[in-house]
Structure 1
């Protein structure tokens, strides 16, 4: 066989070893599927072969299907037919798993008669994250080997599990030493053949699925328990329905039902959106003027200025990654409070079983606290996370210019402010960059990396690399007020505030935005964050709805009242007080009252965001439209099944978006004035995807 052969074949005694050779992840594209089929049939036909081992070459067994084939005509044998063929082999077939066996990779292993894995291996069926379901028997075979309850967790949850956990479930038959998987699998296959063990076909197993027949209510209970997490998504319900089918239908009928559900999902809008997001996330790392070969600066120690909510959360990211952190505050009380919050967060995680108690102490042991800014002199990366005030930030960066060692990266966690103005306070603007974390910083996945006009290439490369190292999705953006995410958010907030002055109730605006798929509407979000952020009695002008709410100490959930009234458990109810305040402000401003349909509410809140997106692209503040989508999905909760604002707008059609913007411009003025880029794309019949 040549190196280009997708499956290499070798013999160890009476065992044929078939190695998948389709780097980098052994994706089960048409060539590999055909290679497996041919190799299996040759081994089955050879009387000298008594057993077969299927093993992955390179880093893993298989990461699953080739996603790029979705929606295209099938070439060669399909994966469902291939797996039926493997299962029907008249000799023992053993899957030997290292690295990952995900999606179609795990389905392939399930079609084998036995499964051996190294302890570090991970297995799973993550298709739900692409808006689909396992379409090659995964929803039918897995419940038969682990039971419906575990199958629901694995398939609907979509997260991979470790080999030891899989073995405890009965999914893995034997664990092999890390360094000798191949030899162990061959020896296992030899024993199976010599002992004449049965060729166990998962399709024939009925004992584990009896639970689903005896307790059909477990499926509705699972739906109820996970309703919030599954809200708006089509694929989770289809997965549940298929697992139910596995429990009540014969195997072949269950397979047919699974295939029908798979084909419906894969051709639907949600799966198209989720597959788009899958690739868009990977695109964010590609920066045209910063080659992948750009050397990154070493980051072995991190300094953080500010131990408040943001500073503490940022510190946890680095502690989680095993990096020592020095955190600085101006007062001992603030420092102790911040350290206490960090420890409490870790201890709460440990109580939930997601962290070992000793890990809490390990991470806290990496944290050094100080009141002395000079203690940051040996840090490789210093992140300022203080109050959003330009004068304060410039003063800090001026001091850092004196303190920080040569080559240290100086970063600001600003949400809005001009990175170039901050960098100007130093004599090393090339070392300055923005790292905009989102609250809570230890949870939210998004990191906006803000490049200044003089930020050096290696600083950008390092920031992007550091983002990945601490588990963030880093997106490079340019300097402008609010960068990408908050600049777009301002458009929605403006229109939401205008709508309520026109007579639309805040809870109706929130309902429309929530029903669209976002976690909460603008007014519920404001109550959660606190209405008094940036507000003070000293500067209050009693002009806006927010001003009057804060004057009455209605500052959001923390005071039990804001736009909504809250009970002791923070359950919200519409407030007549808020309605009166809104009516007062509307009368003062002479705003005419008029009704608005749900469609108008949605368009007025979201279409200006799309328009702002186009301006951001025109100005070069984002590299590509998909980067903007990733910002809003991971930083603001835009529903992934809608693919981000730009993808969503393309689906509507930019001509339609332009038409509605012009209509609103005629009514409400320049706030809706279409961007030239949007007009040009609409005129050409193109979308943001064509840029």
Structure 2
């Protein structure tokens, strides 16, 4: 064995040279890796004893992709293309031996090998679109030459990870070898290639699959139309499509040049910067400064849910999906039956779309048991309360849980903003109490705000963070304050949206500006979707707000065919003259004169207070990092990931510009726009949210 460099070895076994890469944790294509591979292949291809070469990786995976930390900077040593040229241009057949994942640059390297074998558990893909990029090392040029244009378009615009069996069927992999025997299987395959005197199969030279698409621009136009909604606002999918078009319409080397041009457009643009920032932000959110990996976690094998309504049922589904037994408690038999019925319908709807099998429906329903007695929660490891947002009800429930639940059980509340310290005061074990704020629909939404109360133990925090991952959630640790992080910032936006309406902007004007910014929908369309009567009580209504009047007129949103908007039978919205008259009547009654409000002001009035509120949250220590706030808003509220999050967006605008605008608004519209002290301090020191140190712990 010859050590090429610290991460690359070369061994010759008989007539097969084996290049072994070992660069933990995921063999990313760093400068050291590129140097090792380039030198190893030059040496292996020049070795007279070797008639074939195998590329294999140590550790848990094949090359999992590029080293993202190098993006945007000067890259030293041989380029990735230099490595690929050394592999593809080798005069001897090269076999890639794939386990774990071959993603992005990893698959692009494998595509330069003449043959590919994989273990059945391996996955391959080109997920660059997820960080606002396209495969920039020939992926968009080689992939369609193997799998065809339509499948290539799907893969590069979705970033999907393709299982080895499917990769075999589409020709991305030539043979599957037994798990645990990858090295032997790859060497045996290389020997077979030698014995059969197979040709060097360069993917770049195979034009058969792309010939089928030549002269058929409708393939690309139809794909664009079919995915227009999904791709809305994103630049990367379109550049990926254009790159595959180049593979069809240009010679290979010209296609590579076009791919590089399109890649550089994205790399230098704001969207990829935001998506790469978010990639690291989501991972950073899992790191709690004062709760290290050495903190013990509590085994969670059974969970109790109090409340079988929309939230309780959705929460239960998350645990059942993960193989954890659930008991749901309700007060009345009909409420319990109705709640379990909704859960079953949700599962059956997923099964009808092919998401799960009928057997899985029954298996998951079998893990969920209903009960009318809280006493049945005596043996569960975790309880999550999901009832009405009333402090007296919650404190009564927690007092009972304190009496009923076994020592060491975690007592969680799904409150969306009540004081968890007060809830915990109803127990003799406040260290076991934590906020577990799921977002509706809880079985779909990815975000889980984990709320640390004053006495919550580190073990309970560590368990909750681990459990969130187990049930497929993205968890962010936050502190106790009204609305926590997400709803507190939402409140700042909603306040300004309502005020803008009373100044002359129509709901559809505000919704349009925020939709064009990248949100799935604006605040008024969202209210119509959720139902204007949530929390509204007819008997107590006094017609004092626009919402009151709409509800009194039975305009309660999409479900009644009218709310802020009018809806047709397919729930398509259009501006409502009824709503416009109600708004104008309120404005006249208030003694104000409506004015024309620009789109720019609407956006600034809605977004800048959100950034300012985030700064207040940070200065109060209710979030560990600015990036944690961004993770909350991307996953829980539909902030467009290609804008990074409200705090990242604040940095992109410039904290000085945000501060100046907040001061301008404060001077003309009052103290509600008073800038956060932290924002003032940042501007004085010339720093940004991204450069703020993490808080040592949630306060």
Query: Could you tell me the TM-score, scaled by structure 1's length?
Result: 0.99
Alpha carbons 2:4, 2:10 under 8 Å: kept: no
CA distance in 1, matches of 2:308, 2:213: 50
Aligned to 2:420: 419
For residues 445-524 of structure 1, the aligned pairs below 5 Å read 445-524=446-525
Aligned to 1:284: 285
Count residues with an aligned counterpart.
691
Q: For residues 300-355 of structure 1, what are the alpha-carbon distances to aligned partners after superposition, in whole Å with 9 as ceiling and x for unaligned?
A: 11111111111111111111111111111111211122112212211221222221
CA distance in 2, matches of 1:277, 1:99: 24
Q: Secondary structure at the match of 1:310?
A: helix
CA distance in 2, matches of 1:669, 1:315: 45
Alpha-carbon shift at residue 17 of structure 1 (Å):
1.3
CA distance in 2, matches of 1:336, 1:111: 58
Alpha-carbon shift at residue 538 of structure 1 (Å):
2.3
Larger mean Cα displacement after TM superposition, 538-547 or 223-232: 538-547
For residues 217-232 of structure 1, the aligned pairs below 5 Å read 217-232=218-233
Aligned to 1:112: 113
Alpha carbons 1:212, 1:244 under 8 Å: kept: no
Aligned to 1:344: 345
CA distance in 1, matches of 2:443, 2:473: 10
Alpha-carbon shift at residue 469 of structure 1 (Å):
0.9
Alpha-carbon shift at residue 11 of structure 1 (Å):
2.6
Aligned CA RMSD, in angstroms, stands at 1.1
Mark the CA change 1:141 to 1:617 in structure 2 (over 3 Å): closer, same or farther: same
2:8 corresponds to 1:7: yes
Q: Secondary structure at the match of 1:435?
A: strand
Aligned to 2:60: 59
Alpha carbons 2:5, 2:36 under 8 Å: kept: no
Aligned to 2:695: none
For residues 26-45 of structure 1, the aligned pairs below 5 Å read 26-45=27-46
Q: Secondary structure at the match of 1:209?
A: helix
CA distance in 1, matches of 2:400, 2:619: 36
Q: Secondary structure at the match of 2:266?
A: helix
Aligned to 1:162: 163
CA distance in 1, matches of 2:358, 2:7: 46
Larger mean Cα displacement after TM superposition, 423-432 or 206-215: 206-215
Aligned to 2:616: 615
Aligned to 1:374: 375
Q: For residues 618-656 of structure 1, what are the alpha-carbon distances to aligned partners after superposition, in whole Å with 9 as ceiling and x for unaligned?
A: 110101100000000000010001110000011111111
CA distance in 2, matches of 1:166, 1:628: 38
CA distance in 1, matches of 2:211, 2:416: 54
Alpha carbons 1:16, 1:43 under 8 Å: kept: yes
Alpha carbons 2:514, 2:522 under 8 Å: kept: yes
Aligned to 1:628: 629
Alpha carbons 2:489, 2:610 under 8 Å: kept: yes
CA distance in 1, matches of 2:500, 2:660: 20
Alpha-carbon shift at residue 587 of structure 1 (Å):
1.9
CA distance in 2, matches of 1:661, 1:362: 54
Alpha-carbon shift at residue 603 of structure 1 (Å):
0.3
CA distance in 1, matches of 2:603, 2:283: 30
Q: Secondary structure at the match of 1:208?
A: helix
Alpha-carbon shift at residue 689 of structure 1 (Å):
1.2
Aligned to 1:539: 540
CA distance in 1, matches of 2:334, 2:23: 58
CA distance in 2, matches of 1:211, 1:680: 61
Aligned to 2:180: 179
Alpha-carbon shift at residue 2 of structure 1 (Å):
5.5
Aligned to 1:25: 26
CA distance in 1, matches of 2:98, 2:591: 70
2:673 corresponds to 1:665: no
CA distance in 2, matches of 1:251, 1:387: 62
CA distance in 1, matches of 2:12, 2:83: 22
Larger mean Cα displacement after TM superposition, 3-12 or 680-689: 3-12
Alpha carbons 1:530, 1:555 under 8 Å: kept: yes
Alpha-carbon shift at residue 539 of structure 1 (Å):
2.2
Q: For residues 17-51 of structure 1, what are the alpha-carbon distances to aligned partners after superposition, in whole Å with 9 as ceiling and x for unaligned?
A: 11111000000011101101111111111111011
Aligned to 1:299: 300
Q: Secondary structure at the match of 2:539?
A: coil
Alpha carbons 2:4, 2:40 under 8 Å: kept: no
Alpha-carbon shift at residue 666 of structure 1 (Å):
1.2
Alpha-carbon shift at residue 214 of structure 1 (Å):
4.5
Alpha carbons 2:51, 2:194 under 8 Å: kept: yes
CA distance in 2, matches of 1:325, 1:553: 38
2:530 corresponds to 1:529: yes
CA distance in 1, matches of 2:557, 2:421: 34
CA distance in 2, matches of 1:271, 1:642: 9
Which runs of 5 or more structure 2 residues have no equivalent in the other structure?
A: 693-699
2:208 corresponds to 1:207: yes
Alpha carbons 2:305, 2:386 under 8 Å: kept: yes
Alpha-carbon shift at residue 211 of structure 1 (Å):
2.5
Aligned to 1:191: 192
CA distance in 1, matches of 2:184, 2:361: 39
Alpha-carbon shift at residue 521 of structure 1 (Å):
0.5
Alpha carbons 1:286, 1:292 under 8 Å: kept: no
CA distance in 2, matches of 1:621, 1:212: 55
Q: Secondary structure at the match of 2:320?
A: helix
Alpha-carbon shift at residue 292 of structure 1 (Å):
2.0
Alpha-carbon shift at residue 357 of structure 1 (Å):
2.1
Aligned to 1:602: 603
Aligned to 1:577: 578
Alpha carbons 1:543, 1:585 under 8 Å: kept: no
2:416 corresponds to 1:404: no
CA distance in 2, matches of 1:210, 1:31: 39
Q: Secondary structure at the match of 2:417?
A: coil
CA distance in 2, matches of 1:640, 1:295: 34
CA distance in 1, matches of 2:162, 2:320: 24
Q: For residues 84-136 of structure 1, what are the alpha-carbon distances to aligned partners after superposition, in whole Å with 9 as ceiling and x for unaligned?
A: 22111110100011101000001111110011011110111000001111000
CA distance in 1, matches of 2:437, 2:578: 36
Alpha-carbon shift at residue 542 of structure 1 (Å):
1.5
